[in-house]
């Protein structure tokens, strides 16, 4: 009997201990729910319209409603006019199908202010796996959403600005292309060709072949330092200067003694004038190289000045291709460069090419440049082609050497061929 009483006392002591443990456990969980910054609600899944049976302090802070105000209500009172119907539908489906769901939904506080609610709804199951309740965890993600929206606006504005710049550059590129020779002079016994390949929309290179008079054709090729917009602006200015409209910088000089009212300016005169017109400006650091020459058709004589430009390529009918060295300072570097005219005598079957350094300096992935020697080889191996095709072939050889679709610098070539009598 004594032993029985002892057992009972032990059991009731254990029960008391257990219930105190459970109480402590529950208290702790309740404190944790109340302490969390997030809003937490529990709804009764079996109740009519899934009513709230618990809301923590975080929910009160987030929404401005007191727990007393929301108990017994469905959480949809947080929604308003601008709440996305699709998100509501997504929530509704998940709740109906008793599965967890996370959404970002626009909600309204008691004072009517809006906030973005990152809401996770999870079913709570009993021992039989039946959903008895739902727990909802709510976080205010308004700041992040606002930042994302601002970013989207900035991105759209940037895209619009980019589109505008692209349009401007395209237009400028079209204007630049329009300054290239549309049609070339076709004097008896001669042929001309050109190739122009900007590395970006706008090029710092420019070139032209122009009639100066019945026996004279002017050829030039120029390469402005750098490339892109500022280089293109100068190259466009240059092609306007190097025109046959008589004027201060033109290829023709006003001359009252001449029956036409002008005379053809000598190449050295033209380049000297350019150098005067274009003194070095440390702010822009721009300068340009140029070959300007006049071909005398009857004499088969090319009289030219080089201003720091890469060598000419001379491909005689019989002999090997050779690089004709050119000297002189680029235009815009020194005040008195002392340019000198040179004369090249041409024979039937000869070809002459003026190139920009974008071609010889085109580098392969190892950094090795196409160079003068490969340029000469390319000129020789393509000599059986027409002049136009030959220029294309030379550029193609450089492209193969680089093993890349585009070049880092603008590439331009002007070709001249003295046709054979046959």
Ligand X SMILES: Cc1cc2nc3c(=O)[nH]c(=O)nc-3n(C[C@H](O)[C@H](O)[C@H](O)COP(=O)(O)O)c2cc1C
Query: Is residue 94 within the footprint of ligand X (CB under 6 A)?
Result: no
| Residue (87 or 237) nearer to ligand X, CB | 87
> Which of 33, 58, 79, 291 lies at the binding interface for ligand X (CB under 6 A)?
79
Query: Is residue 93 within the footprint of ligand X (CB under 6 A)?
Result: no
The answer to whether 379 and 353 are in contact (CB under 8 A) is: yes
| Residue (105 or 354) nearer to ligand X, CB | 105
Which residues, numbered 222-281, are part of the site for ligand X (CB under 6 A)?
Answer: none
Q: How far apart (Å, rounded) are the C-alpha atoms in residues 185 and 160?
A: 43
Query: Is residue 43 within the footprint of ligand X (CB under 6 A)?
Result: yes
Q: How far apart (Å, rounded) are the C-alpha atoms in residues 278 and 332?
A: 5
The answer to whether 122 and 98 are in contact (CB under 8 A) is: no
* Site map 117..156 versus ligand X, x via CB under 6 A: x-x-x------------xxx-x------------------
**Residue nearest ligand X, CB atom distance:** 136
Query: Is residue 88 within the footprint of ligand X (CB under 6 A)?
Result: yes
Query: Is residue 74 within the footprint of ligand X (CB under 6 A)?
Result: yes
Query: Is residue 95 within the footprint of ligand X (CB under 6 A)?
Result: yes
Q: How far apart (Å, rounded) are the C-alpha atoms in residues 50 and 42?
A: 9
**Residue 270 to residues 192, 273, 339, 403, Cα–Cα distance (Å):** 22, 5, 10, 39
> Six-digit token pair at 396?
């193609």
Shortest distance (Å) from residue 168 CB to ligand X: 47
> Which of 33, 55, 70, 105 lies at the binding interface for ligand X (CB under 6 A)?
105
Shortest distance (Å) from residue 29 CB to ligand X: 17
Query: Is residue 289 within the footprint of ligand X (CB under 6 A)?
Result: no
Query: Is residue 33 within the footprint of ligand X (CB under 6 A)?
Result: no
Helical segments of 64-133, H only: 67-70, 85-96
Enumerate the β-bridge partners of residue 220: 208, 292
**Residue 89 to residues 85, 161, 195, 322, 343, Cα–Cα distance (Å):** 6, 38, 63, 79, 85
| Residue (107 or 250) nearer to ligand X, CB | 107
Give the interface segment with ligand X, choosing from 7-15, 115-123, 145-153, 388-396 (CB under 6 A): 115-123
DSSP structure string for 366-397: TS-B-HHHHHHHHHHHTTTS-HHHHHHHHHHH
Shortest distance (Å) from residue 105 CB to ligand X: 5
Shortest distance (Å) from residue 110 CB to ligand X: 13
Q: Which of 406, 400, 367 is nearest to 381 (CA)?
A: 400
Q: How far apart (Å, rounded) are the C-alpha atoms in residues 356 and 371?
A: 12
Q: How far apart (Å, rounded) are the C-alpha atoms in residues 26 and 38?
A: 19
Query: Is residue 101 within the footprint of ligand X (CB under 6 A)?
Result: no
CB burial class (10 A; 0-12, 13-18, 19+) of residue 181? middle
SS3 306: strand
Query: Is residue 8 within the footprint of ligand X (CB under 6 A)?
Result: no
Shortest distance (Å) from residue 54 CB to ligand X: 10
Shortest distance (Å) from residue 129 CB to ligand X: 18
Query: Is residue 208 within the footprint of ligand X (CB under 6 A)?
Result: no
> Six-digit token pair at 229?
């917009």
Query: Is residue 41 within the footprint of ligand X (CB under 6 A)?
Result: yes
**Count of positions (residues) in the chain:** 422
Query: Is residue 91 within the footprint of ligand X (CB under 6 A)?
Result: yes
| Residue (82 or 128) nearer to ligand X, CB | 82
**Residue 214 to residues 188, 255, 302, Cα–Cα distance (Å):** 11, 18, 15
Shortest distance (Å) from residue 84 CB to ligand X: 10
Kindly determine how many residues on this chain lie close enough to bind ligand X according to the rule CB under 6 A.
21
Q: How far apart (Å, rounded) are the C-alpha atoms in residues 72 and 52?
A: 5
| Residue (2 or 48) nearer to ligand X, CB | 48
| Residue (82 or 422) nearer to ligand X, CB | 82
| Residue (89 or 340) nearer to ligand X, CB | 89
> Which of 33, 70, 75, 271 lies at the binding interface for ligand X (CB under 6 A)?
75
| Residue (118 or 240) nearer to ligand X, CB | 118
- Vertex 178, ends 177 and 181: CA angle to 5°? 90
Residues forming the site for ligand X (CB under 6 A): 41, 43, 50, 74-76, 78-79, 88, 91-92, 95, 105, 107, 117, 119, 121, 134-136, 138
């Amino acid at each position: 009997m004594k032993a029985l009483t002892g057992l009972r006392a032990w059991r009731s002591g254990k029960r008391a201990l257990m219930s105190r443990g459970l109480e402590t456990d529950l208290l702790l969980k309740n404190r944790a729910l109340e302490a969390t910054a997030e809003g937490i609600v529990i709804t009764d899944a079996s109740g009519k319209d899934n009513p709230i049976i618990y809301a923590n302090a975080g929910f009160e802070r987030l929404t401005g409603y007191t727990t007393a105000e929301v108990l017994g209500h469905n959480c949809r009172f947080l929604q308003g006019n601008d709440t996305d119907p699709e998100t509501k539908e997504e929530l509704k489906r998940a709740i109906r199908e008793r599965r967890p769901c996370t959404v970002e939904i626009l909600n309204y506080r008691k004072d009517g202010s809006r906030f973005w609610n990152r809401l996770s709804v999870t079913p709570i199951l009993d021992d039989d796996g039946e959903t008895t309740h739902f727990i909802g965890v709510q976080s205010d993600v308004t700041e992040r959403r606002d930042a994302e929206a601002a970013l989207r606006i900035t991105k759209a504005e940037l895209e619009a600005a980019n589109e505008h710049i692209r349009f401007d550059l395209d237009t400028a590129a079209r204007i630049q292309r329009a300054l290239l020779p549309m049609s070339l002079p076709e004097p008896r016994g001669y042929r001309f060709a050109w190739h122009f390949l900007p590395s970006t929309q706008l090029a710092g290179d420019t070139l032209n072949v122009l009639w100066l008079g019945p026996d004279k054709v002017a050829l030039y090729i120029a390469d402005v330092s750098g490339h892109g917009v500022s280089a293109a602006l100068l190259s466009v200015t240059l092609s306007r200067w190097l025109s046959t409209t008589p004027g201060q910088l033109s290829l023709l000089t006003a001359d009252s003694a001449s029956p036409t009212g002008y005379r053809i300016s000598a190449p050295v005169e033209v380049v000297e004038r350019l150098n005067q017109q274009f003194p070095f400006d440390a702010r822009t650091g721009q300068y340009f190289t140029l070959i300007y020459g006049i071909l005398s058709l009857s004499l088969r004589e090319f009289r030219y000045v080089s201003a720091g430009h890469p060598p000419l390529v001379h491909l005689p009918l019989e002999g090997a291709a050779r690089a004709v060295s050119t000297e002189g300072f680029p235009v815009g570097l020194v005040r008195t460069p002392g340019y000198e005219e040179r004369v090249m005598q041409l024979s039937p079957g000869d070809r002459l090419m003026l190139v920009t350094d974008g071609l010889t300096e085109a580098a392969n992935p190892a950094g090795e440049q196409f160079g003068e020697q490969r340029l000469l080889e390319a000129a020789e191996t393509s000599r059986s082609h027409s002049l136009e095709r030959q220029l294309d072939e030379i550029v193609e050889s450089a492209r193969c050497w680089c093993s890349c679709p585009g070049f880092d610098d603008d590439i331009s070539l002007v070709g001249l061929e003295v046709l054979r009598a046959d």
